[in-house]
Structures are given as C-alpha cells and as structure tokens.
Chain A
Amino acid sequence: MAQAEIGAEQRASRIPRASAAALLRRGRSLAWIALTLALTLLGLMAVTFVVGRVVPIDPVIAVVGERASQAVYDAARIEMGLDDPVVVQFARYVMDVLRGDLGMSVTTQRPVMEDLARVFPATLEMATLGILIGVTLGVPMGVVAAARQGTLVDQVIRVLGLAGYAIPAFWIGLVGLVVFYASLGWVGGPGRIDFFLDGMVEPVTGLLLVDSLLAGDMESFGSAFSHIVLPATILGFFSLAYISRMTRSFMLEQLGQEYIVTARAKGAPERVVVWRHAFKPIRVQLVTVVGLSYAALLEGSVMIETVFSWPGIGNYLTNALLNADMNAVLGATLLIGVVFIAINKLSDLLYLIIDPRARS
C-alpha cells in the first residue's frame, strides 16, 4: 500500500477508536457553547442597560414626579444609585436581572417579571402551534416542490410561498376574523378564551391549552382552542411560506449533487433518493431555518396579537412603548433577546447531534 494512503487511513482510524478523545472534543464543544452563551447574555444585558440610560426619560422624575423640589430629586437620585459609577450600576443591574427583578411597570403597577410571566406564555402557546403547523406542512411542501421542480405542484407551492411574503398579516387576520368568526362562526373571536370562562382555569404553565387539560376542564380547553386556532394558523401560514421556500432551495441544491447520481445508480427508488439521500443532509440547515422562524414568532407577531387582542408579549411591548414604560420595554426586550439566544444555542446543540461532520 502506498505511503500516503496508509497515513490517511491511520488518521481516519483514530476517530472512532479513541472515544475518550471524541468525548473530550464533544465536551469542549459544549463548553464553548456555554461560554458563548454567557458572553452573549452579558452583551445583551449591556445593551438593555445602556439603552435604559440614554433614553430621554428621567427615571427619577418618573418616581418623584415633575414638581418635586431639587433636594427631593437629588435624594431620590442617590437613593436610586444613579450617582454610583457606571460599572457599579451595571453590576447591580445584572444582579437584579439574575434575581428576576426587572423593576416595576408604571402602566400595570406590577413587577415587570410578573407581567412577562403572564404575557409570554400567551405568545409561546400561539407561536408553538404556529411553528408546528409551519414545519409539518412547510417541510414536505418544499421537498415535494423541489422533487417536482417546474411542474404544476411546484408552481402552486411557490405561489403559496410568495403569498406569505406579499400578504400583510393584519389584512389576513381581519379577513380571517370576518369570514371564520363573524360569518361562519367556526372559530372563537378575539382574545384567548370566551370571556365568561376567563380566569376559570388555575394557571400552572400559563399555556391555556395545557392548563385546561391539566384541570380536566374540557369546556375551557375547547374555548381556548377555538380562539387560538385561527391566529396560530395564520402564523403557521407565514412560517410555512418561509420554511417551504427555504426547504425547496436546499433540496434543489442537494438533488444536483453527485451522490444523488450514486443513489440512482444503485437502483434507489425516487422516494428514497428524495427523502433519504437528499433530505437527510439538509436537516441541519432546516434546524437553523426553523429556529429563526420560531424565534420570529416568539418575538410576538405584533400585528396578529393586535388584530386578535391577544395578550402576548408583542401586545405588551407595544403598549409599554406607547406609554414610555421603560422598565417594561427593557424587560420585554431582554426576554425576547434571551429567547432568541436560547433558540440559537439549541440549534447549535442539534447540529452536534445530527451532523456527523460536526461531530468529528
């Protein structure tokens, strides 16, 4: 055997045998993910902290009122720690955040943390249903469109994908309400649940569908479901449009690869060529796309939440902005940032699991 070949094969042989080394590498990847996670979070807090300080809203006046005397103002300023060095203030801010203290909201007169614990599950519930719809329909649609490129099926799927871009969310939301709620009465109207059932279910997770099931309250479950189905489907449609378009283009790239020719040369049926040989390699890319799409939904589709009077984070953040409620704005922003980062890191972890090339 030639020299070069032997060298190369020995190199290859070390990978699966030396599992200790592989574990170490895996451990290092995980440590790396954890470190970048910590740094990103710190960076995020720095941003919200700085934004909180540069906005032209004086937090002291917000507390003492416009007509307080200079002495009262100064005392309050010191009391609030605003005369301390910036580094100290930032450290205090970080500690507060880590303790779960995001300050009081001036609009709701409640701790921002409590508000978020109430509004975020509403968004989470809708976004999760939306992304489930987007993935279970969008991925197969993209795959089929690519496998039948240029056919009528492909055209129809592409038009749907484009519609997801061209149609404004509020319009489709209003039309949906008029048709399916007002005219047909198939679904519930705005809000999360019929008003006479509101507050009947003990909040455990904050997700109404889950909590009503936990409580065995099928009436509440049915009502919550009939309210969420339309907005979630609309969100699902938008993520479906994006996911199917991306899936299609990833698949087209795969179907042009040499190993597709190899699969066919082995006698692989078309189903296997498409779903195994072309689809398996794109799962990694799809994780990123789905993650981005989910993150976007979790930021709270403001339009949809507004149209459906959905008490989610998009609605909350908009209200806070309109009322110059700084603690609420920064708290909600921080939460959205954390969600975004978490989803990102989660897709990094999934990479490690599903891509053999990333593993070694």
Chain B
Amino acid sequence: MSALIEVENLRVRFPGDHGPTDVVRGISFSLGRERLGIVGESGSGKSMTGRALMGLVPAPGRAIADRMVFDGIDLARLDERGFRRLRGARLSMVLQDPKFSLNPVIRIGEQIGEALAFHSRASRRERRRRVLDVLAAVRIDDPERVYRLFPHEVSGGMGQRVMIAMMVVLEPDVMIADEPTSALDVSVRAQVLEIMDDLVRRRGMGLVLISHDLEMVARWCDRVLVMYDGRIVEECAAGRLAEATHPYTKGLLASTPHLDDARELLPVLDRGALGASR
C-alpha cells in the first residue's frame, strides 16, 4: 500500500514566556488509504497534529517537520496559497461540534456549495445539484429542504452529517475527523460514524479519526496511534490493542469500564511511572 501522507519528526511549537514549548514533540507516522485512529487524553496533541496536516495550526503556533509529504507535495514547506488549493479539495477536516463549526448565518446548502465554488468552475446549477447529491450521500432524506435551512434549524446529528457532506463534496484523498462524535447524543454517534466510514471506504479515502475514546477508535479504525504528552507512545493494528506494550496504553485499556465490570473503582494512571518511561 502506497502512503498518502508521510510524516517525519513533526513538531508543533508555541512561543511562550519562558521560550518556545512543543505541544507535539517529534512524531512520525504514515497514512495510506486506510482508517488511522489517533487516541490520547485531552491535551496530548491530537488536534494539533491534525491541524498541522491541514496547515491550520493557530498563530502564533508553528508546525515544523523534517518531512511531511502528501502525494509528492512537501507540506512542511508549502505556503498558504498551496495549502488553500489542497484544503477542502484533497485534504479535509471535520470538526467536533456542528453547533460551533457551521456558520450560523449562512444556509446549509450554500455552506456546502462554497467548497465547490473555491475549487471548481462549476456553474451555480451544477453546484446545487452536487450539493443535493452529497446531502443524499450522508443519508439526509429531504436534501431540498435541508439545503435551505440554517444550522440552528437542524439537530446535532444532522449538523454533523452536513459537516461531513461539506468535507467530502470534492472527494478528497484524506479526511481528518477531530472528535467527530464527542459533541453528539450517544444515540446518533454510531450512525454518524457509520456514514463517515461508508463514504471513506467507498471513495477510497484515507481517514484520520481523532478521539479520546479508545474503544471507538478500536472499532472504527484499521490502525491506532496512541499519543501521550505530544508523542506517539504506541502504534498497532486496531485488533491488537490488547497486546499493547506501553504502560500508558495498558493503563488506558485497564481504565475502560465494562458492562460486566466487577471493579468498585477504576484504576488510576500512575503518571510518575509514565514520566520515567518516556
């Protein structure tokens, strides 16, 4: 399998009062036409890794890498214009909460159609047709109606499907989904993941699924990276997480509750030991 993205020694650096801090501290990984999960606790650098791939690390932060290649393009040396050509068209990103990630004053259909306007010369009618198609593709029953709605008029689950539609309308090669279901009702999470999964497989996209939920990532991904404190501490096939060797991963696994759990208390991570091991 040829890699879509290859990353070598990626750092995300923020200037601080006491000199620069790296919140991602030299990670290397590759992504093929597969579903790659990134898990780790809050603040471990998952989102910044995703943002770095899109060229969207918020200022004054900066992404630095020895190599960060996407389809022969070195993202580590790409300027803003170059990134703009890729974003939405070949690399795309689904954010966490549709309540905040959709523009409140622009109709849903127009928000999706924009991506087409930025990257293609499609006519207005052509754009409209493609937007309706992609709304249907994320299993929205009445695309014509939803096209005209504003984001506050749809539920969270539907909002996230709109977001996914917006990010796949140009059939990108890679989609990064940053906690795509964390803000949703438990009842609609599986449905949203299934729609996303289905699109990714059918269109042969590479997916980076970022989550703090180890079980979810194990279920929906082929391969998993475990991040801790800005580093990748474990990399394994999703089916083999049980054989993980790093103490942090083992700790995470041990602290996942189960229905048939007989334990009174879930174990607590021993951070002292983790500090020593890295």
Q: Of A5, A264, A276, A357, which is within 8 A of B150 by CB?
A: A357
**A16-B149, A267-B88 known; A2 vs B103 contact (CB < 8 Å):** no
Q: Is the CB of B86 within 8 A of A5?
A: no
**A5-B187, A261-B101, A262-B103 known; A267 vs B150 contact (CB < 8 Å):** no
Query: A264 vs B167: C-alpha distance in the bound complex, in angstroms?
Result: 11
Would you give the 0/1 interface string for A321-360, flagging 1 where the beta carbon is closer than 8 Å to chain B?
A: 0000000000000000000000000000000000111001
Residues of chain A contacted by B56 (CB below 8 angstroms): 261, 264-265
CB within 8 Å of B: which A241-275 residues: 257-259, 261-269, 272
Q: Is the CB of A12 within 8 A of B84?
A: no
Chain A: minimal CB distance from B133 (Å) = 17
Residues of chain B contacted by A12 (CB below 8 angstroms): 149, 153-155, 158
Residues of chain B contacted by A258 (CB below 8 angstroms): 95-97, 100-101
Q: Is the CB of B166 within 8 A of A266?
A: yes
Q: Is the CB of A267 within 8 A of B86?
A: yes
Query: A355 vs B56: C-alpha distance in the bound complex, in angstroms?
Result: 29
Stretch at the interface among B113-121, B228-236, B242-250, B260-268: B113-121
Residues of chain B contacted by A357 (CB below 8 angstroms): 104-105, 150, 152
Closest to A357 in B: B152
Residues of chain B contacted by A5 (CB below 8 angstroms): 155, 157-158, 185, 187-188, 191
Query: A13 vs B141: C-alpha distance in the bound complex, in angstroms?
Result: 11
Chain A: minimal CB distance from B143 (Å) = 13
Q: Is the CB of A360 within 8 A of B153?
A: yes
Query: A343 vs B119: C-alpha distance in the bound complex, in angstroms?
Result: 43
Interface of A: prevailing SS: helix
Residues of chain A contacted by B152 (CB below 8 angstroms): 356-357, 360
Residues of chain B contacted by A276 (CB below 8 angstroms): 106
Chain B: minimal CB distance from A1 (Å) = 7
Closest to A3 in B: B187
Give the interface size bracket for B toward A: 35 or more
Q: Of A9, A17, A268, A272, which is within 8 A of B154 by CB?
A: A9
A190 within 8 A of B: no
B142 within 8 A of A: yes
Chain A: minimal CB distance from B45 (Å) = 17
Query: A210 vs B78: C-alpha distance in the bound complex, in angstroms?
Result: 57
Residues of chain B contacted by A280 (CB below 8 angstroms): 103, 105-106
Q: Is the CB of A13 within 8 A of B185?
A: no
Would you give the 0/1 interface string for B80-118, flagging 1 where the beta carbon is closer than 8 Å to chain A?
A: 000011111100110111001111111000000011001
Query: A97 vs B245: C-alpha distance in the bound complex, in angstroms?
Result: 87
Query: A206 vs B105: C-alpha distance in the bound complex, in angstroms?
Result: 40
Residues of chain A contacted by B188 (CB below 8 angstroms): 2, 4-5
Residues of chain B contacted by A266 (CB below 8 angstroms): 87-88, 92, 114-115, 118, 166-167
Residues of chain B contacted by A356 (CB below 8 angstroms): 104-105, 150, 152
Chain A: minimal CB distance from B13 (Å) = 19
Closest to A258 in B: B100
A227 within 8 A of B: no
Query: A360 vs B104: C-alpha distance in the bound complex, in angstroms?
Result: 13
Would you give the 0/1 interface string for B135-175, flagging 1 where the beta carbon is closer than 8 Å to chain A?
A: 00000001001001110111111100001001100000000
B54 within 8 A of A: yes
Q: Is the CB of A9 within 8 A of B158?
A: yes
Query: A259 vs B166: C-alpha distance in the bound complex, in angstroms?
Result: 12
Would you give the 0/1 interface string for A101-113, flagging 1 where the beta carbon is closer than 8 Å to chain B?
A: 0000000000000
Query: A258 vs B104: C-alpha distance in the bound complex, in angstroms?
Result: 11
Query: A15 vs B150: C-alpha distance in the bound complex, in angstroms?
Result: 11
Residues of chain B contacted by A11 (CB below 8 angstroms): 155
Query: A47 vs B158: C-alpha distance in the bound complex, in angstroms?
Result: 52
User: A interface vs B, CB < 8 Å?
Assistant: 1-5, 8-9, 11-13, 15-17, 257-259, 261-269, 272, 276-277, 280-281, 355-357, 360
The 4 closest A-B pairs by CB, nearest first: A8-B155, A267-B88, A2-B187, A266-B88
User: Apart from A2-B191, A266-B87, A280-B106, what are 6 other A-B pairs with CB-CB below 8 Å?
Assistant: A3-B187, A4-B185, A5-B158, A5-B188, A8-B156, A356-B150
